[in-house]
Amino acid sequence: MIQFIPAKINIGLNIVEKRPDGYHNLETVFYPIGRFNGTPAVPYPFGDVLEITPSKTTDHTFTFTGRTIDCPLEKNLVVTALRLFEKQYNEKYGLEMPKFDITLDKHIPDGAGIGGGSADATYMLRGLNTLCDNPFDLNELSEMALHLGADCPFFLLDEPAYGEGVGEILTPIKVDLKEKWLLLAKPDIYISTAEAFREILPKHPETSLKELIQLPIQEWRHHIVNDFEESLSGRFPEIINLKQMLYNSGAEYASMSGSGSSVYGIYRNREEALHALTAIRFCGTPLPFATLIKL
């Protein structure tokens, strides 16, 4: 089985309160990105590729290519997802799960706030569930996904969703961005999630994001915010500068995604997005990662 893995952007991200368990409640809109990349109409490589095949050995094997992550094998989220699924499967059926050969070809940058690692882990759960004759329903998979990361349950869906709680309470929401194009860029900085939350001051917004997202996209810039931008702007001015460059190049809406550090701009069509990418690169802005994505 071969799976082409997308990522996500956050359209708006409000940190509304700190919970007794130390985590934070939030509201955000998750939007999937990269599903069309790699096709003739969108010839820009982006998503990760996960291959899962039955193993002829007595244990699972793992091969990682592309943007490899420097961490111990057992801390890789793909491996963690497999171990979790295997444990649940063995406990449910009282027998050992079949062994698999796993290959992940990674293109989505890490530390970008677009859920690359979370998507890989969740698609591992999805793939294993299919190959093992669907032993778990959606609710059971969601519980496993949440154990791996707050935004993992979103990747069990294939549609935009309004997220509450720590991001695990998901409601499908209508956000029509079809035919629009995204310019996604990541400056040469890394922001850990823990670091981002350390500076945040929770507050309830005057108007729910669920209402604001229904405004015309041209009005989003005046109403929809990512709370992390304010808290991180002092230490990472590159993010705000890049966001302003996207607006200067014609973006209808621009924002940092998640807790950073990637920034995206939404454009009316491919030509405008491509012109913006060319203009930003011409200015000499160091961008180790930048690509176009059809929404």
Give the pLDDT score at 199: 80
CATH 3.30.230.10 fits 2-172, yes or no: yes
Structure confidence by residue, pLDDT tens digits, 46-79: 999 999 999 989 999 999 999 877 778 888 999 9
CATH domain 181-294 topology = Alpha-Beta Plaits (3.30.70)
Confidence of residue 106 (pLDDT cuts 50, 70, 90): very high
Most confident of 20-24, 195-199, 214-218: 214-218
pLDDT of residue 69: 75
pLDDT in tens, 122-155: 999 999 999 999 999 999 999 999 999 999 999 9
Domain ranges of the chain: 2-172, 181-294
Confidence of residue 158 (pLDDT cuts 50, 70, 90): confident
Identical topology for domains 2-172 and 181-294: no
pLDDT of residue 119: 97
Do the strands 48-54 and 100-106 form a parallel or antiparallel pair, or are they unpaired? antiparallel
Q: Say how far apart CA 157 and CA 146 lie, in whole Å.
A: 13
Residue 219 to residue 217: CA distance in whole angstroms: 5
pTM score, whole prediction: 0.94
**Which of the residues are catalytic?**
8, 151
